Structure 1
């Protein structure tokens, strides 16, 4: 009889992000090993089987994601669902994942937590300046206490393990890299045809971003850099969505397309000439890996695991956080040099093919989970 695995996350359809992509890959490769059920927020789209949906709040919203309601009904549902599992595998961090850690450990369930974001860096972005340091310290202390209730933490790269240990996390921490579907995310055979299919400009150079349009992703700096470009034969492509205050300026920008969340990210990547990741905080940044697998030259901030797998001027280019002027200079540099774009894109593809495999990643995670049965 297969062990009952409960997979919990703070995200679900239609919010397609790195965590959800990981869950899709994990489910696809793990159903023969576990009897899997899901506990996720109810964002209005119900897709799949063996899923328990938690009611969300109309008023509490973090980074474009409605948070779950702190209600007796929700807490009872979370506890009931956890009780039925042999093993609890949580993706986070946000309110549902943190509440689940607490009750899973309290109920004596084997609890593993996959850290997709550094919580105190994330939540710091949403505090007013006078509360910034206080919120950072509070979230850090609360997160550390909850992580220490888990049986094991999974993180995508070694430096994050060291960071957590230095900040008081005593729970066992294992490294489990994310991966990329290198067949799905690959260089275009015909970029012109892809642009026609997606109704995008055929002659302009397309500078793109994929992901949430939110404060911590800092996509505003890309819009500012776009306005500073000397070359006007360009088009800005934003593949994603976010809170109104963050997304509206892009919708009103000339020569800019905003798609909202889509299920065919690979097509949009194949239509781009340059990919930009301007984030203030990241762990792995799965969309950056996917852009590299698609053979795109990448310009990114030096955050999280990105600074490890991108080598300056070999498979990508860095720019300082919050500097639209530096970003504009880097974009201009690539626009003026097709040879450099090709070199960076080819090396980016090689990096992903060699080092980032979903099969290898998921098999490692399955071994870690089965060890706790």
Structure 2
């Protein structure tokens, strides 16, 4: 099939590189594998991306103000409408300004439209907002908007069956199909911890508790910081890899022993340098971050959220703790800190779980099959 014969796939997203988050990482893995299509990306203009020379990209200017750690695209129907009109398939990732406009025009022009569900928006948005008055209205408005958009799509691609069930319970009745997220297990490996620490100039003998991802209110990182402070170890560090709210970065940076290193294009050596990984989030769906940590044979301690509850088996390939309970999290961390063999055993089983169930090539194939079924 020559490039001119490929069907035109427009991917509309309110999150994209170079701003790293779960959606951006998902697209970075999936786009090179969707080689049956002529792809156009409509995304916020956060700056240049690695795909700018290989695919068509429509950059939408950013708002002047931010909500939490997120700056959204402006409302620019004139940029989005022509691309949707020329599309064969519209593949939305979000319900922000870009995803919403793409959904509206897909319906207007009777285009085949699939949406990937990366998060439960009405759970995520209120927790990301710091102002109580905005929080009060964010939940019902976001839920109404999600129902409006998703009930008008032709297909919802969900990362797990329980996420699909949750949407159905919330009166989102569009047909759903499951495509698990994946991990590049050849890249995300255990590696050599001593070498990684030497390369990154991290203390070689410290116990390093880590997290990678956005610094947002919904990530509940203050609970992690409180638990870390209770951890008893001869030498310890709290390693935070990621960017986000300046106020949160300042709070975390004030914690004794905390290292806030910002967003990294390659998180692998940072994961390889850690001893224990923690995901303290209030809300997640699959969490690529957790899967990447597990693939690097890290013992993970997570809040019991989203699909994580299905693939982590407490005490076998990871641990859970009560989301807001920093005392319980501290106990879990202490148990792992005091028992290197437990860390090794849990980490080994964690990687085996990822190798067995999460593969990007399989994920991409399922997504293409779903898009082709429209």
Q: What TM-score bracket applies, with the shorter chain setting the length?
A: over 0.9
- Measured in 1, the distance between the counterparts of 2:234 and 2:326 equals 16
Unpaired runs of at least 5, structure 1: none
Q: Deviations over 1:137-174 (max 9, x none)?
A: 22112211110110101110111111111111121111
SS in 2 for 1:81: helix
- Measured in 2, the distance between the counterparts of 1:19 and 1:232 equals 38
Correspondence list, 1:109-188, <5 A: 109-125=111-127, 126=129, 128-129=131-132, 132-188=135-191
- Indicate which of 30, 40, 54 corresponds to 1:26: 30
SS in 2 for 1:64: coil
Using the TM superposition, give the Cα deviation of residue 106 of structure 1 relative to its aligned residue in structure 2, in angstroms: 1.8
Moved more, 123-132 or 142-151: 123-132
Change in CA separation of 1:186 and 1:11 when aligned onto 2, cut-off 3 Å: same
Q: Could you say what the CA RMSD is over the residues aligned between the two structures, in angstroms?
A: 1.4
Moved more, 160-169 or 274-283: 160-169
Using the TM superposition, give the Cα deviation of residue 96 of structure 1 relative to its aligned residue in structure 2, in angstroms: 2.0
Paired residues of 1:208 and 1:272 also in contact (CA < 8 A): yes
Q: Deviations over 1:245-294 (max 9, x none)?
A: 11111223331211211111111111100000000000000010010010
- Measured in 2, the distance between the counterparts of 1:105 and 1:225 equals 48
- Indicate which of 275, 287, 290 corresponds to 1:288: 290
Moved more, 130-139 or 45-54: 130-139
- Measured in 2, the distance between the counterparts of 1:347 and 1:160 equals 25
- Measured in 2, the distance between the counterparts of 1:148 and 1:128 equals 30
Paired residues of 1:127 and 1:135 also in contact (CA < 8 A): no
Correspondence list, 1:1-12, <5 A: 1-12=5-16
Normalising to structure 2: TM-score of the pair? Answer: 0.95
Tell me which residue corresponds to 1:64: 69
- Measured in 1, the distance between the counterparts of 2:310 and 2:253 equals 34
Change in CA separation of 1:246 and 1:95 when aligned onto 2, cut-off 3 Å: farther
Correspondence list, 1:49-60, <5 A: 49=53, 50-59=56-65
SS in 1 for 2:31: helix
Paired residues of 1:93 and 1:115 also in contact (CA < 8 A): no
Using the TM superposition, give the Cα deviation of residue 132 of structure 1 relative to its aligned residue in structure 2, in angstroms: 3.9
Tell me which residue corresponds to 1:349: 351
- Measured in 2, the distance between the counterparts of 1:102 and 1:275 equals 40
Using the TM superposition, give the Cα deviation of residue 107 of structure 1 relative to its aligned residue in structure 2, in angstroms: 2.1
Q: How many residue pairs align between the two structures?
A: 366
Using the TM superposition, give the Cα deviation of residue 133 of structure 1 relative to its aligned residue in structure 2, in angstroms: 4.7
